[in-house]
C-alpha cells in the first residue's frame, strides 16, 4: 500500500476524534467531499486523498496537489462554541502544523497570519477553514495541504519537507505526529482562548513589524502589521496613521 495512504489510515484508526475516514486515491477536492458528506455523518471525520484535481485554497485559489507528493486532508469537527470563538480555530491549528513540521526539519518556520506556513520564504503548507451552519452551532471544515515530496513540475516554485530535511522523511511518523498535534491543539482550542497560546504564535509570525498589502472583499490597502491581540485579530496601522483590526484577509508581504 502507498506509504502516505497507509500512514493516514493508521493514524485515523488510532485517532481520538477522526476514526471515521473517507479515503480516495483521487478526488476533486477533499474539502468538497467533506461538505457533501457533512450531514450524512454525525460525528467528526476526515477526508483524505493522494491527489486532488481541483484542490481549493483561500479566496477560491487553486491549491496544487501533485499525485503522491503531499498530505491532503479535510478535518471536520463540531465544537460546541459560539461563532466569535470559531475565528480562533485557525490560529490553534496553525501551531499544530508548525509544531509538527518543526520535529522533522531544523530550519526556522514562520506563520503568515492567519494560516500559511513558510520555511525560508517558501510556502510549505496552507489550510482552508470554513464555518458551516449546523443547527445551533457551526461545524468547522478544515482542509490542510502539506507538501512532503517535491513534484518534478513544482521544484523551485514551492517548498516541500524533503527540501529542508537532513534525512529521509519518515512519512508514517510525520502523519502520526500531525494527527496527534491537531487533536492536541483542538482540545486546547475547546478549553482556552487564543490568549493562552498568543505568545507562542507571535514568536512564529512572519508579518509583525513589516509592510504588508491587505486585501479584503471590500478594499485593498498598504499597512504595517503591529500586533496580534488576545483574540487573534491582526492589528495594523495604515498609511494615514489609522489603526485597523483585520479579521480575515489576504496578506502579501
Q: Give the pTM.
A: 0.92
Rounded to whole angstroms, the Cα distance separating 23 from 142 reads 16
The CATH fold of domain 3-202: BirA Bifunctional Protein; domain 2 (3.30.930)
Q: What is the pLDDT of residue 183?
A: 98
Other C-beta atoms closer than 10 Å to the C-beta of 215 total 13
172-220 residue pLDDT tens: 999 999 999 999 999 999 999 999 999 999 999 999 999 999 998 889 9
Q: What is the pLDDT of residues 147-159, one digit of tens each?
A: 998 876 554 557 8
Percentage, residues of the chain above pLDDT 70 = 91
Q: Which of 122, 206, 112 is nearest to 161 (CA)?
A: 122
φ, ψ for residue 135, nearest 5 deg: 75, -140
Q: What is the pLDDT of residues 90-127, one digit of tens each?
A: 999 999 999 999 999 999 999 999 889 999 989 899 89
Q: What is d(CA 24, CA 46) in angstroms, rounded to the nearest whole number?
A: 11
CB of 207 within 8 A of CB of 228? no
Q: Each residue of 56-99: pLDDT tens digit?
A: 655 555 556 666 688 999 999 999 888 778 889 999 999 999 99
For 208-252, CATH number?
A: 2.30.30.100
CA distance 26 to 47: 11
DSSP state of 166: S
| Number of C-beta neighbours around residue 248 at 10 A | 14
Spatial contact of 28 and 53, defined as CB atoms under 8 Å apart: yes
| Every domain range in the chain assigned CATH 3.30.930.10 | 3-202
Distance, CA of 194 to CA of 87 (rounded, Å)? 10
Burial class (CB in 10 A: 0-12, 13-18, 19+), 151: middle
Question: Where does the chain hold its CATH 2.30.30.100 domain(s)?
Answer: 208-252
Given a contact cutoff of 8 angstroms between Cβ atoms, the answer to whether 59 and 217 are in contact is no
Sheet bearing 220-228, strands edge to edge: 243-246, 234-238, 220-228, 211-215, 250-252
Q: State which H helix or E strand residue 188 sits in.
A: helix 171-191
Amino acid at each position: 500500500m502507498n506509504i502516505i495512504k497507509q500512514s493516514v489510515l493508521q493514524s485515523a484508526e488510532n485517532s481520538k476524534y477522526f476514526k471515521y475516514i473517507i479515503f480516495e486515491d483521487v478526488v476533486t477536492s477533499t474539502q468538497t467531499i467533506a461538505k457533501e458528506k457533512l450531514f450524512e455523518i454525525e460525528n467528526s471525520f476526515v477526508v483524505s486523498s493522494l491527489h486532488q484535481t481541483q484542490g481549493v485554497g483561500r479566496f477560491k485559489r487553486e491549491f496544487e496537489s501533485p499525485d503522491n507528493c503531499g498530505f491532503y486532508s479535510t478535518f471536520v469537527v463540531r465544537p460546541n462554541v459560539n461563532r466569535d470563538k470559531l475565528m480562533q480555530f485557525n490560529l490553534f491549528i496553525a501551531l499544530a502544523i508548525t509544531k509538527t513540521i518543526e520535529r522533522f526539519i531544523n530550519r526556522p518556520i514562520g506563520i503568515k497570519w492567519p494560516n500559511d506556513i513558510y520555511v525560508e520564504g517558501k510556502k510549505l503548507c496552507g489550510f482552508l477553514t470554513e464555518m458551516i451552519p449546523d443547527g445551533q452551532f457551526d461545524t468547522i471544515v478544515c482542509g490542510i495541504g502539506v507538501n512532503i515530496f517535491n513534484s518534478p513540475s513544482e521544484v523551485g516554485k514551492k517548498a516541500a519537507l524533503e527540501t529542508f530535511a537532513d534525512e529521509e522523511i519518515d512519512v508514517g511518523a510525520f502523519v502520526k505526529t500531525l494527527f496527534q498535534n491537531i487533536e492536541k491543539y483542538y482540545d486546547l482550542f475547546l478549553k482556552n482562548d487564543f490568549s493562552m497560546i498568543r505568545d507562542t504564535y507571535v514568536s512564529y509570525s512572519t508579518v509583525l513589524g513589516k509592510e504588508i498589502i491587505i486585501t479584503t472583499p471590500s478594499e485593498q490597502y498598504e499597512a504595517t502589521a503591529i500586533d496580534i491581540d488576545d483574540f487573534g485579530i491582526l492589528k495594523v496601522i495604515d498609511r494615514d496613521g489609522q489603526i485597523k483590526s483585520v479579521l480575515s484577509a489576504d496578506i502579501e508581504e
